[in-house]
Amino acid sequence: MRAEKFTVISAGHGGGDTPATPRNVPHKGGDANPTAAALQARFGSTIARVDVINGETTVIVDRDKVHDIVQWLHDEPTQSYEYLSDVTAVEHRDAQRPIEIVWHLRSIKFRRFIRLKALIVKGSALSICSIWDIYKGADWLERECYDMFGIQFTGHPDLRRILMWEQFKEGHPLRKDFPLRGRFSRSQQLENALAANPEARYSMEELSIVDAYEELPLDMRRRLLGGEKTGE
Amino acid sequence: MGLKDLLNAGSDGTHGDATSMVSMDARPNEPWVTTKLDFLVNWGRANSLWPMPFGTACCAIEFMASAASNYDLARFGMERMAFSPRQSDVLICAGRVPFKLAPVLRRIWQQMPQPKWAISMGACASTGGMFDTYAVVQGIDTIIPIDVYVPGCPPRPEGLIYGIMMLQKKVMNERMNGTSREEMEPDPKSKLYIPSSRIDELSEPFGNSVHQTRSAP
Ligand code: SF4
């Protein structure tokens, strides 16, 4: 067998058209992700700005057009952002700076990463369109963002707290005006926490036995339906 | 505490003298012993404490190391980890407890049958440690009564074992008819084991959570 018949297959860096790990990336500037130009061509003035920081492209978009833009990035075959890796928010200490909502999207097909940001000016309604209908994985990410920042995602099917317990009355902990130790005194916090019923937090949907519901004994079914509201 | 100590227990513990008691004992050649019931019961309890591990964070890893073969908690009668609170004697809380978990910890404590003890393992469980935040209980002694606090972050297995031996000593000193075995009752109004005013006072030096301004813009 002649040696020319073999093709060298190299995983990761260096080989053929597989992209190599970028080196000596400047802190600011550099080549933007080609998606940014495509977005500007397609959506025009709704794209406010494109930044490249540490080789990562951040696109600042109009807060009302987020859903359309994400939908396009997801559906367009030349972009194909099929993976949502995060939804979060940033609040700056400077009270004048707007709150940023951040989406991290990844295209596995083209090996691209893009970060979208929408700005919400302080004082306006903290609400933004949910992208749950595009990426089902946005469900918990948006719940966390709501829990920590109090941002309402319109169109989310079940927007409630995910990390803090539902009876938590002190607000949204990652907001800058939230005191590190919470708003109540230590004893008050303890009393509130102990008044909670640990079993009341689980809904039928969260119990994995929901499929086996019909086969459960009658008393258990009755308990589950009642939401275990003992002692509250 | 070996059986030899048991035989020599206290001033009332005497070796049976078979010849003088012959009329009471049908089998005069077998040895017998008298001792205090308190002593016998405590001896049994102290040497078969079954722990209920309540591991919530990094301290639990150190607890596992203490239970594993190198340090071998089984030497102290903790042969069996009781993962059911109904079959355990000592709750070992290893790790920080967030407020979300506080009612769970309280319920587990209530599910344990008497007699029961609790060890608070590590800085976080005992005081909240470095997590002086909105989410973490500042010392679980506010929600359950604690017998032994083990300091450290995390305590080494030797530290935990020392704490366990201190608990065994405490168990040995309990009396059936005294007040030492009564369970501490929480304050009926706030349901806390430390008065509310005291808890707020303790959190005061760094600014009570109501007054502290650390995050003001
Ligand atoms: S005391 Fe230290 S090791 Fe233990 S739970 Fe707290 S941080 Fe972790």
B61 lines ligand 1 (CB under 6 A): no
> Of A102-111, B6-15, B74-83, which one has max mean pLDDT?
A102-111
* Ligand 1, atom 3: closest residue by C-alpha: B154
Confidence class of residue A209 from pLDDT cuts 50, 70 and 90?
A: low
Question: What whole-number distance in Å separates Cα of residue B61 and Cα of residue B55?
Answer: 8
Confirm if B112 and B104 have CB atoms less than 8 A apart: no
pLDDT surpassing 70 at residue B175:
yes
Answer whether residue A144 is part of any domain: yes
Would the CB atoms of A190 and B215 count as touching at under 8 Å? no
Residues of A within 8 A of B200 (CB-CB) are 185-187
Answer whether residue A208 is part of any domain: no
Residue of B nearest to A188 (CA): B196
Domain that holds residue A3: 1-161
Alpha-helix residue ranges (DSSP H) falling in chain A: 34-43, 66-75, 138-149, 186-195, 218-225
Confidence class of residue B178 from pLDDT cuts 50, 70 and 90?
A: low
pTM for this structure? 0.77
Number of cross-chain residue pairs from A and B with Cβ atoms under 8 Å apart: 99
* pLDDT at residue B12 in the model: 45
Confirm if B51 and B88 have CB atoms less than 8 A apart: yes
Q: Which of B1, B7, B45 is nearest to B174 (CA)?
A: B45
Question: What whole-number distance in Å separates Cα of residue B168 and Cα of residue B46?
Answer: 5
Work out the minimum CA distance from B37 to partner chain A, whole angstroms: 39
Average pLDDT over residues B197-214: 62
Question: What whole-number distance in Å separates Cα of residue B115 and Cα of residue B181?
Answer: 8
Alpha-helix residue ranges (DSSP H) falling in A16-124: 34-43, 66-75
Which residue from A178, A186, A197 is facing B199, i.e. has the nearest CB?
A186
> What backbone phi and psi angles, to 5 degrees, belong to B117?
-135, 165
* pLDDT at residue A145 in the model: 94
* pLDDT at residue A9 in the model: 55
> What spacing in Å lies between the alpha carbon of B154 and ligand 1's midpoint?
5
Token pair listed for B192: 């806390």
| Residue of A209 and A218 predicted with greater confidence | A218
Residues of A within 8 A of B213 (CB-CB) are 179
With both helix axes pointing from N to C terminus, report the angle between A66-75 and A34-43 in degrees, rounded to the nearest 10. Answer: 120
Percent of chain A with pLDDT over 70: 81
pLDDT in tens, B94-150: 999 999 899 889 989 989 988 889 999 999 999 888 888 889 998 899 999 999 999
Answer whether residue A168 is part of any domain: no
* Residues linked to residue A113 through DSSP beta bridges, in sequence order: A106
Confidence class of residue A222 from pLDDT cuts 50, 70 and 90?
A: confident
Would the CB atoms of A179 and B134 count as touching at under 8 Å? yes
pLDDT surpassing 60 at residue A3:
no
Token pair listed for B194: 């430390």
* pLDDT at residue B214 in the model: 47
pLDDT surpassing 90 at residue A169:
no
B128 lines ligand 1 (CB under 6 A): no
CB distance from A164 to chain B under 8 Å? yes
> What spacing in Å lies between the alpha carbon of B94 and ligand 1's midpoint?
8
Give the length of chain B: 217
B58 lines ligand 1 (CB under 6 A): yes
Residue of A nearest to B106 (CA): A194
pLDDT surpassing 50 at residue A210:
yes
**Interacting residues of A103 by C-beta distance below 8 A, sequence separation 6+:** A66, A70, A84, A86, A87, A115, A116, A117, A131
Q: H/E element holding A103?
A: strand A99-107
Separation in Å, CA B12 to CA A132, B37, B43, B185, B217: 77, 11, 16, 34, 72
Would the CB atoms of B138 and A186 count as touching at under 8 Å? yes
Would the CB atoms of B100 and A182 count as touching at under 8 Å? no
Interface test with A, best of B107, B136, B212, B215 (most A CBs within 10 A): B215
Interface test with B, best of A194, A202, A232 (most B CBs within 10 A): A194
Q: Is the peptide bond before B51 cis (omega within 30 degrees of 0)?
A: no
Would the CB atoms of A184 and B133 count as touching at under 8 Å? no
* pLDDT at residue A30 in the model: 81
Answer whether residue A110 is part of any domain: yes
CATH number at residue A26: 3.30.460.80
Domain segments of chain B as ranges: 50-202
B153 lines ligand 1 (CB under 6 A): yes
Torsion of CA B182, B184, B188, B191, to 10 degrees: -140
Confirm if A89 and A102 have CB atoms less than 8 A apart: yes
pLDDT in tens, B46-86: 998 999 999 999 999 999 999 998 998 888 888 788 888 99
* Residues linked to residue A232 through DSSP beta bridges, in sequence order: none
Question: What whole-number distance in Å separates Cα of residue A99 and Cα of residue A125?
Answer: 11
pLDDT in tens, A130-161: 999 999 999 999 999 999 999 999 999 888 88
Which residue from B107, B133, B217 is facing A181, i.e. has the nearest CB?
B133
Question: What whole-number distance in Å separates Cα of residue A169 and Cα of residue B100?
Answer: 13
Answer whether residue A202 is part of any domain: no
Residues of B within 8 A of A169 (CB-CB) are none
Answer whether residue A198 is part of any domain: no
**Interacting residues of A104 by C-beta distance below 8 A, sequence separation 6+:** A84, A85, A86, A87, A113, A114, A115
Amino acid occupying residue B55 = G
CB distance from A134 to chain B under 8 Å? no
Q: Which of A200-209, B126-135, B156-165 has the lowest mean pLDDT?
A: A200-209
Q: Is B117 exposed, middle or buried (0-12, 13-18, 19+ CB in 10 A)?
A: buried
* Ligand 1, atom 8: closest residue by C-alpha: B58
Which residue from B132, B200, B216 is facing A187, i.e. has the nearest CB?
B200
Interface test with B, best of A94, A97, A167, A186 (most B CBs within 10 A): A186
Number of domains in chain A: 1
Question: What whole-number distance in Å separates Cα of residue A155 and Cα of residue A51?
Answer: 29
Answer whether residue A109 is part of any domain: yes
CATH code that applies to domain B50-202: 3.40.50.12280
